Amino acid sequence: MDLVLKSFQKENFFDFLRTFSIPIGIMILIAMMVIPLSPVFLDVLFTSNLLVSLLVLMVALQTFRPLDFSSFPTVLLFATVLRLGLNVASTRVILANGHTGTDSAGSIIEAFGAFVMSGSYVVGLFVFAILVLINLIVITKGAGRVSEVAARFTLDSMPGKQMAIDADLNAGILTSEEAKERRKEIAKEGEFYGAMDGAAKFVKGDAIAGILILIINIIGGLIIGTVNHDLSLSESAESYILLTVGDGLVAQIPSLLLAMATATIVTRISSDDNDLAGQISSQMGLSKAWVPVSAVLLLFGLVPGMPNTLFLGGALISGAIAYFTSKNIGEIKKDVPENDTEENHGKIDVDEVSDNSSISLDLGYGLISMVDSNDKKSAGPLISKITGIRKQVSKDLGFVIPNVRVRDDLSLDANAYQIKVGHTIVAEDKIYADRKLAMPSDETQLKIQGIQVKDPSFGLDAYWIEKHLVSKAESNHYMIIEPEAVIGTHLNQVLLKYAGDLLSQDDVQLLLDNLSKINPQLVQSVIPKLIPLHHLTIILRNLLVERVPINDLKKILEALSNLSDKKLSPDELSEAVRPAISSLLIQKISSVKEALNIVTFNSDLEQMLISMSKKSSSEGLLIDPNLAKQMIKSLLEISEKSSSDGNPIVIVTSPIIRKDLSILLRQHIEDIVVLSFTELPESKRVKVIATVGEKITNQEKEKNNENANI
């Protein structure tokens, strides 16, 4: 018994009502259409119908935005069907019992019929017809047209709104969560207005059904009264028409209220501050508007023969409203201290001195046009380019690149830009938004007129040319690049180079959460039991620094789990895990069918470097400057010879010196990959294109012999 009582607590009871109210209502509706109802029950249902219609209208008036009442189309459907079901039930009662008197269908129908008809059923019919026409032609038709237009324009504007969100997201104005909420709201708005376009048809159909039911009831009542119950035509008309008009009015008034609610919803302008009453009062309560109204009414009141008292009274009321509205505005202004403005000028917000953007792009005022777009439905060319680059780099590296905050900086030259990682400037250059970059090829012979510069990404000779010279440049084998593409390519290089700095612990946790959906046991067994989150972040950062993708986080965690019994630092774990995922990096350099072109060191040089590594401290490889200079010079020569294929130099060396050698060489040759012998897959064919060290080791041997002779 206690369990039964607990199940019917207050919260459970309301949950029960919320869950089963609609199914129960549908069952009652079906029963209404099939089972004859008593007049008393009809009165209750008609009262409930009027209550629901008033409630819907009041809710529509109190909402701040149309989407605040997103369930309105469904509510309108159920309310319409409920009223039609009542019409069916009342029609049955009227036709079956109408001959017994005007009280046969309940007191509400009788009261409405008697009040409207005022002793004449002709008057009642005309009043009913006027109400139906107002509902059908004025309110319902207008609301239906507004719904149709609103749905069309809402759906047409959705792509533009989505692109605007993407632009704000890229510019750093919105966070990813805010962007998601905006997208959900736009989708919800499209669904709502699409549903409202259909819901307006319910109201129109309901009004037409009311007319048809009226005609059926009158004709049917007259026939039944005269034929079945031997009533005279006047007696049948008096009884059945009164009941029919009363029934129609009881149905049409809720219908009119719902039509008004529909029109209110579709004609609303969204507001975050006021409901409809607040909007109207704030916008119409202008003293400047009420003063001329009062003056015009005063003039009418002074004209002889006019109802002077009414016009003068209206002028007095209008003048009073103008006076009080102006007084309220003055009081509001007084409530604001005069020194507030001065205080606000001197106030400094945290946002002005602190910027938490991971990466930002600062533009001179001459480049602002690249961000803006003439078409409101699309983002500027630079924003679209940045979005594409972020998506591609995120896909290549295996984590979501943070938003690039784009902003203007008046301290920069008009055509200058800066790329920052955190607060550190990592790249800068100049471009010209009104020109295009022309890069000569090997076949180019004609020098074109323009501003001669070095390409910011690759350091190649290029010219910023005016747009009318583009055709001439192309005919002379120049490669034409848009200004936004120049910044985009530069930004792409920066993102790849500083990917390790852009990866945060939150990003790593997001990757783990995503992986745990598929491999929850693996994630739980490794993080944080074997490897703390901050250590995993360091490992992934080390991989990204050398452009090793972290797409296959599953394989990385599996490799780390196998190394858990060894007491290794995060840097040592980074090296130990590389052989498991090196194929991800290799496949970006060489296709599956092609051989991997590699550069090796000769055995003497490699042994020399290994011995130096063993003698070095933990701070890194200590190498003779002359030896390092010669080694880098040789690699640069090899790089120039093999630069035609566009792939970086791949050096393969011993695992002992791989990391230290990579750090040393990347300082001088940015686009270089250093692998260990253990990272080469067994199935991958390799081709040695060059060997470094023969000349270098001979020079070192001669140097050592000279030192020995001394």
Confidence class of residue 3 from pLDDT cuts 50, 70 and 90? Answer: very low
| Residue range 420-438, pLDDT digits in tens | 998 889 999 999 988 999 9
Q: Which two tokens stand for residue 483?
A: 């200004």
Asked whether the beta carbons of 672 and 666 are under 8 A apart, the reply is yes
H or E element: which one contains 481?
A: strand 478-481
338 pLDDT exceeds 50?
no
pLDDT, position 339 = 45
SS3 for 320-339 is HHHHHHHHHHHHHHHHCCCC
Q: What number is the average pLDDT over the span 305-316?
A: 74
Give the residue carrying structure tokens 């783990």: 512
- Tens of pLDDT, residue by residue over 467-518, are 888 888 888 888 889 999 999 999 999 999 899 899 988 889 988 988 888 8
Angle at 448 between CA 447 and CA 452, to 5 degrees: 90
Question: Taking Cα atoms as reference points, which of 662, 568, 650 lies closest to residue 609?
Answer: 662
Q: Which of the two residues, 235 and 649, has the higher pLDDT score?
A: 649
CB 583 within 8 A of CB 673: no
User: What backbone torsions phi and psi does residue 96 show, to the nearest 5 degrees?
Assistant: -85, -40
pLDDT of res. 340: 42
Reported as type and span, the H/E element at residue 490 is helix 483-497
> Of 542, 535, 575, which is closest to residue 559 (Cα–Cα)?
575
Give the single-character DSSP code of 422.
T
Q: What angle do CA 471, 476, 479 make, to 5 degrees?
A: 75
Residue corresponding to tokens 């991997």: 596
pLDDT in tens, 219-229: 877 787 777 77
- Residue 646 token pair: 């566009």
What's the residue count for the chain?
710
Give me the pLDDT at residue 192, please. Answer: 76
Q: At what angle do helices 10-34 and 72-97 cross, to 10 degrees?
A: 40
Helix 121-133 × helix 107-117 angle, to 10°: 100
Residue 710: C-alpha distances to residues 555, 648, 700 (Å): 56, 43, 15
Across the chain, mean pLDDT equals 77
**What mean pLDDT comes out for the span 129-157?**
72
Phi, psi of 258 (to 5 degrees): -65, -35
Question: For residue range 15-47, what is the model confidence (pLDDT) as tens digits?
Answer: 655 666 667 767 766 666 667 777 777 777 778
Q: How far, in Å, CA of 276 to CA of 22, rounded? A: 29
pLDDT at 707 (0 to 100): 44
Question: Which residues lie below 8 Å from residue 660, measured CB to CB, with a gap of 6+?
Answer: 613, 616, 620, 621
CB 393 within 8 Å of CB 496: yes
Q: What are phi and psi of 143, to 5 degrees?
A: -65, -40
Q: Which residue has the tokens 């029109």?
A: 263
Q: Residue 1, exposed/middle/buried by CB under 10 A (0-12, 13-18, 19+)? A: exposed
Contacts of 42 by beta carbon, 8 Å cutoff, 6+ apart: 86, 89, 90, 93, 105, 106, 108, 109
**Of 270 and 497, the one with more pLDDT:** 497
CA 628 from chain centre, in angstroms, equals: 52
Q: Indicate the residue type of 588.
A: K
Helix/strand/coil percentages in the chain, nearest 5 = 65, 10, 25
Task: Select from 168, 189, 190 the least CA-distant residue to 178.
Answer: 168
**Rounded CA separation 244/253 (Å):** 14
Query: Which stretches of 617-657 are DSSP H helices?
Result: 625-641
